[in-house]
Amino acid sequence: MKALVYHGPGAKSWEQVADPAIQDPTDCIVRVETTTICGTDLHILKGDVAAVTDGRILGHEGVGTVTEVGAAVTNFSVGDRVIISCVTSCGTCSYCRRGLTSHCQTVGGIGWILGHLINGTQAEYVRIPYANSSLYHLPEGVTDEQGLFISDILPTGYEIGVRDGGVRPGDVVAVVGAGPVGLAAMMTAGLHGASRIIALDLDDNRLEAARRDFGATHAVNSGDADWAEQVKALTDGLGVDVAIEAVGVPSTFAAALALVRPGGQVANVGVHGKAVELPLHEKWIDNIRISMGLVNAVTGDMLLRMVAEGKLPAEKLATHRFTLDQIDQAYDVFGHAARHGALKVVMTAG
């Protein structure tokens, strides 16, 4: 088969590799029909994720058809259309049993293994360990593209941003960063009754999309000199109840911290590549909480129902489409997303 193989920082190629095979009775093989690129893949290509080594097939999102099942797979059969979760969970270790599947201890001590510790989904076929608890059936009425965003983006924005951020009815929420994950947080903040959802970004096109399609009620360009005052003017003057950081650089974390009101919460969703500053000498007195983490993807079934009922416009995240063998072009567009007006790029099997 063909796959997108990582060859060290800055190097990748779409090349011929061996087909994946069942290794354990809990494995499935899935033919990948729709996949995408995550900001995390760009971090990997920069060399930020040391665990990804030369020869690894990238990708942790996808929709496809089961082509082979191991003897212990009971929930899925050959021919089933499935969504691949970005988190692989055994379902039985102590972390999985308490819903913290992101720390499933069975394969490498972390739930995110696809395109990280084992070969991923930017390929014609992928092996999915612990298939019983790591795939979803693609429901009738949900398109491949809608399902694709259940792999990672929607659960990440919702679980780590909105849910773990403690958004409650009436809250004013700021989301710093209107990329795909930030938009997913905006899209799902309404599920918890946020009264105002303020989008922040440097890119006016993304801010416009945030307001038009993804539930933001207000938008502030964080390049404006008075961006913080503009946001605070949309509250009672004290700041937002929950500030969601959805970029992963020191300045956006600092922005989230600057916007949160006393008693509020900063929810960090971004994947950081270097240390951030935490001015505890100023903030200790504010009774704020800071949360962070890797998605567990345990809300995928709920989010799928909301998508199926038309309550979450997941499909609007897809802006550019390619075939799998055009993946280099897709990386180029996603890597220069602002220039191309790109949110998520979608690749489909030819």
Q: Which residues bind Zn ion (CB under 5 A)?
A: 38, 40, 90, 93, 96, 104, 106, 152
* Residue (62 or 264) nearer to Zn ion, CB: 62
Q: Minimum distance between the CB of residue 96 and Zn ion, rounded to whole angstroms?
A: 3
Q: Please list the alpha-helical segments (H only) found in 171-299.
A: 180-189, 204-213, 227-232, 250-259, 280-283
C-beta closer to Zn ion: residue 106 or 217: 106
Nearest to 258 by CA among 232, 289, 292: 232
Compare residues 49 and 90 and give the one whose CB is closer to Zn ion: 90
> Which one, 243 or 269, has the nearer CB to Zn ion?
269
CA dist., res. 43 & res. 197, Å (int): 28
CB of 163 to Zn ion, least distance (A): 17
Q: What is the DSSP string of 42-88?
A: HHHHHT--TT--TTPBP---EEEEEEEE-TT--S--TT-EEEE-SS-
Residue 166's contacts (CB-CB under 8 Å, 6 or more residues apart) are: 242, 265, 267, 289, 291
**Closer CB to Zn ion, 106 or 265, in the complex:** 106
Give the residue ranges of DSSP H helices in 149-222: 153-155, 180-189, 204-213
**Residue 197 amino acid letter:** I
Closer of 90 and 219 to Zn ion (Cβ): 90
Q: Which is nearer to Zn ion, 95 or 214 (CB)?
A: 95
Long-range interactions of 190-195: CB distance < 8 A, separation 24+: 190/215, 191/158, 191/162, 191/306, 192/162, 192/163, 192/167, 192/168, 193/167, 193/168, 193/169, 194/167, 194/169, 194/170, 194/242, 195/169, 195/170, 195/171
Rounded least distance, CB 120 to Zn ion, Å: 10
What minimum distance in Å lies between the beta carbon of 282 and Zn ion?
33
Min dist CB 91 to Zn ion, Å, is 6
CB of 100 to Zn ion, least distance (A): 9
Is residue 227 a contact partner of residue 160, using CB atoms and an 8 Å limit?
no
